[in-house]
A and B are shown apart, each in its own frame.
Chain A
Amino acid sequence: MTLTAPQTQLPPAPPSGRGGHPGRLTATRRREALTGYLFTAPTIIGFLVFVLGPLVAAIYLSLTKYNILTAPKFVGFENYARMFRDERLATTYGNTVLYVGAAVVLINGFALLFAVLINQRLPRVLTYVFRSAYFFPYLVALVYVSIIWQALFQKDTGILNYYIAALGGERIDWLNSSEFSKVSVIIVDTWRNVGFAMLIFVAALQEVPKDMVEAARMDGANEWQVFRRIVLPMISQATFFNITITIIGAFQIYESIIVLTRGGPGDASRSVVMYIAEVAFNKFDMGYASAIAVTLFLIIMLVTLVQFRLRKSWVNNE
């Protein structure tokens, strides 16, 4: 590979590089810089064409009225104003927030519980079996597990209701009642994701220094105190990671709802993402759909930033 680019194509050197003379690149450093650009070029081009470009375009489209057939017409913030009058949007956002809250609490709660249980000194074969069983659903496409659950949730023929009835309970209309359609979505989401979060917790639990835990026990701390005062702070890094991941994931719940309830009954289980797809690709209201997408982006970004800001106050960085 011969690198003989004219000097004019090179951006100026950083003002205070490695103590070199500002603005003057030696041949070696020029060559290295060019190599750096060549090595990163595919990624940067991909980023510009498939992420940054579309992001800018989405923001522009959100300020237009655009139905694909005729050219986009600039309408300013009309789409954004329209959101405040859109009751369906309020419903779908409400559902989404519920999914996010449930995911954070249930996925992380169960994951931590199972992680603590599995982290005891069990026979290796048991650890292996449990880890595999809990983790496997995470590797299977959400669509496939939703297809299975869709059958299990059937009101009259599903096995879930069979066992509920056998235990003397009422048959539940899992997929067609406005409360339980949401519960079904939450169950599938929790069930599928708990294994991954559990493994993150297990990995963190194994890093907790054993002598520290034992010293606390010797000093008379009970199991709960040990857990609360030593283990929990030591695994805060993993907790932070898990919560961030579950929030971002739950904001984007989509395919499980498509398979389980199609958003129904009415909009009872519909998520914002489903609503965006409907507005964009069924009604071809690209401008309005883009505006909703942009708000979703801003909300996810805001939540993530707040998370990171709060991180300092509770994550133990050693």
Chain B
Amino acid sequence: MSNTNAVISTPQQSSAARRSRPRPGVGKSISVALLFLGAIGMVAPFLWMFTTSLRDASQAYDLPPQWLPTEWDWTNYAAAVNGPVPILRNMFNSAVIAIAVSIGMIITAPVAGYAFAKLEFPGRNSIFVGLLSSLMVPAQVTIIPLFLLMRTFGLLDNPLSLILPGITGALGVFLLRQFFLGLPQEIIDAARMDGATAWQTYRLIALPLAKNAVSTLGVITFLGSWNAYFAPSIFLNSTDTATLPLGLVLMLGPYGAGNVAQVMAATTIAIAPALIVFLVAQRWIIASLTQSAVKG
């Protein structure tokens, strides 16, 4: 993919079809131009964020806007990190919650998905349908009782209030059940004949085969938790327990009154992990997110 001048390959296209299309070059240039325009629109806000984070606060709003960094002044980053909002601490909180939730999910969901796909037990289908219908329950409906529940157990302002409800969930069970349904029954039966217990069959045979599906689930769960705002904003209420999105909103201040250069530095820090993960695993993330949607 390094060669920009690569000839557009058209192996599957017959020459007859190619001829029938009028001036294919023009259409293609227009669409590339349109796509470029759109792509600039998608990237520009991030670029602006980054250049602003490198500028002195007094010049942050200078117009015309600076699109490329003219200087590399990192003082805003130091100021953001050392400011009144403990954003590194908040980042750590976010990481702890997201990692705990992801680990919990990749333990509980595959094993349940396996049971719903491969084991017979009375009530299996009705339980599964009930579980699945919980996907239709929006978070806002359950948030009030959950808040009262966490309050009763003294878990408000505690990361457990976000971890406990997060470690199980219907979406993961559904994804993994789909995968295990596609697993040939002969493999399972062969293992059972050799004397493996159900747990051994699952743990040693089925689970290793589900590696990709489990990693997909891990990524989806991690991102969901890492990006969450609604529940954290209600369950957590001190700056020390806040997650990173809460910290940044705090830093932004009412009506965006905060120091914009510092806020952009903090936002850059907040986005950096997502960017790195994305650059490393772009293909894989895209494939895993879309395939579950299209084939589901």
A residues at B contact (CB < 8 Å): 1, 10-14, 17-18, 29, 31-37, 39-40, 42-47, 49-55, 57-58, 61, 68, 110, 113-114, 117-118, 120-126, 128-137, 139-145, 147-152, 154, 157, 159, 162, 166, 191, 195-196, 199-200, 202-204, 207, 210, 214, 217-218, 223, 237-238, 241, 245, 248, 251-252, 254-255, 258-259, 262, 273, 276-277, 280-281, 286, 289-290, 293-294, 296-297, 300-301, 304
The answer to whether B256 and A57 have CB atoms under 8 Å apart is no
Cα distance A276–B6 when bound, in Å? 55
Q: Does B88 belong to the interface (CB within 8 Å)?
A: no
Within 8 Å CB of B149, what residues of A? 49, 53-54
With both chains docked as a complex, state the minimum distance between the C-beta of B217 and any C-beta of chain A, in angstroms. 13
Cα distance A266–B21 when bound, in Å? 55
Contacting A199 at CB < 8 Å: which of B107, B123, B286? B286
The answer to whether B142 and A58 have CB atoms under 8 Å apart is yes
Q: With A36-B120, A140-B271, A251-B138 in contact, do A203 and B291 touch (Cβ < 8 Å)?
A: yes
Q: Does B205 belong to the interface (CB within 8 Å)?
A: no
Q: List 15 A-B contacts (CB under 8 A).
A: A1-B199, A36-B120, A36-B121, A40-B127, A54-B145, A121-B10, A157-B63, A196-B289, A200-B290, A258-B249, A281-B234, A290-B144, A290-B145, A297-B138, A304-B136
Q: Does B193 belong to the interface (CB within 8 Å)?
A: no
The answer to whether B294 and A238 have CB atoms under 8 Å apart is yes
Considering the complex, give the chain B residue whose CB is closest to the CB of A50.
B165
With both chains docked as a complex, state the minimum distance between the C-beta of A3 and any C-beta of chain B, in angstroms. 9
Cα distance A55–B39 when bound, in Å? 42
In the complex, chain B residues 234-291 whose Cβ is within 8 Å of any chain A Cβ: 234, 245, 248-249, 252, 254-256, 260, 263-264, 267, 270-271, 274-275, 277-278, 282, 285-286, 289-291
Q: With A1-B197, A54-B145, A258-B249 in contact, do A125 and B1 touch (Cβ < 8 Å)?
A: yes
Q: Does B115 belong to the interface (CB within 8 Å)?
A: yes
The answer to whether A128 and B1 have CB atoms under 8 Å apart is yes
Q: Does B134 belong to the interface (CB within 8 Å)?
A: yes
The answer to whether A35 and B115 have CB atoms under 8 Å apart is yes
With both chains docked as a complex, state the minimum distance between the C-beta of A191 and any C-beta of chain B, in angstroms. 7
Cα distance A157–B63 when bound, in Å? 8
Q: Does B14 belong to the interface (CB within 8 Å)?
A: yes
Within 8 Å CB of A217, what residues of B? 17, 20-21
Which 3 pairs between the two chains have the least Cβ-Cβ distance?
A46-B168, A36-B121, A141-B227
Contacting A214 at CB < 8 Å: which of B14, B121, B139, B275? B14
The answer to whether B146 and A252 have CB atoms under 8 Å apart is no
Cα distance A42–B168 when bound, in Å? 7
Residue interface bits B9-34, CB-to-A below 8 A is 1, else 0? 11011101100110000001001101
The answer to whether B17 and A214 have CB atoms under 8 Å apart is yes
The answer to whether B122 and A139 have CB atoms under 8 Å apart is no
Q: Does B4 belong to the interface (CB within 8 Å)?
A: yes
Considering the complex, give the chain B residue whose CB is closest to the CB of A215.
B17
Q: Does B229 belong to the interface (CB within 8 Å)?
A: yes
The answer to whether A142 and B229 have CB atoms under 8 Å apart is yes
The answer to whether B248 and A143 have CB atoms under 8 Å apart is yes
Cα distance A74–B17 when bound, in Å? 72
Q: Does B77 belong to the interface (CB within 8 Å)?
A: no
With both chains docked as a complex, state the minimum distance between the C-beta of B193 and any C-beta of chain A, in angstroms. 12
Cα distance A254–B245 when bound, in Å? 13
Q: Does B119 belong to the interface (CB within 8 Å)?
A: yes
Q: Which among A68, A139, A241 has the greatest number of chain B C-beta atoms within 10 A?
A: A139
With both chains docked as a complex, state the minimum distance between the C-beta of A314 and any C-beta of chain B, in angstroms. 17
The answer to whether B202 and A39 have CB atoms under 8 Å apart is yes
Cα distance A195–B21 when bound, in Å? 29
Q: With A33-B121, A36-B121, A273-B140 in contact, do A43 and B1 touch (Cβ < 8 Å)?
A: no
Contacting A125 at CB < 8 Å: which of B4, B17, B38, B277? B4
Stretch from B44-52, B68-76, B79-87, B208-216 at the A interface:
B44-52
Cα distance A110–B39 when bound, in Å? 12
Contacting B141 at CB < 8 Å: which of A117, A125, A294? A294
Contacting B140 at CB < 8 Å: which of A37, A131, A293? A293
Q: With A32-B119, A125-B1, A162-B65 in contact, do A254 and B256 touch (Cβ < 8 Å)?
A: no
Contacting A255 at CB < 8 Å: which of B32, B226, B230? B230
Inter-chain pairs besides A44-B127, A139-B274, A141-B228, 8 sampled, C-beta below 8 Å: A13-B122, A42-B167, A57-B145, A114-B34, A140-B271, A142-B227, A143-B245, A210-B13
Q: With A42-B168, A144-B270 in contact, do A58 and B141 touch (Cβ < 8 Å)?
A: yes
With both chains docked as a complex, state the minimum distance between the C-beta of B296 and any C-beta of chain A, in angstroms. 8
Within 8 Å CB of B296, what residues of A? 241
In the complex, chain B residues 158-185 whose Cβ is within 8 Å of any chain A Cβ: 164-165, 167-170, 173
Cα distance A136–B191 when bound, in Å? 43
Residue interface bits B99-129, CB-to-A below 8 A is 1, else 0? 0000000011101101110011111100100
The answer to whether A47 and B170 have CB atoms under 8 Å apart is yes
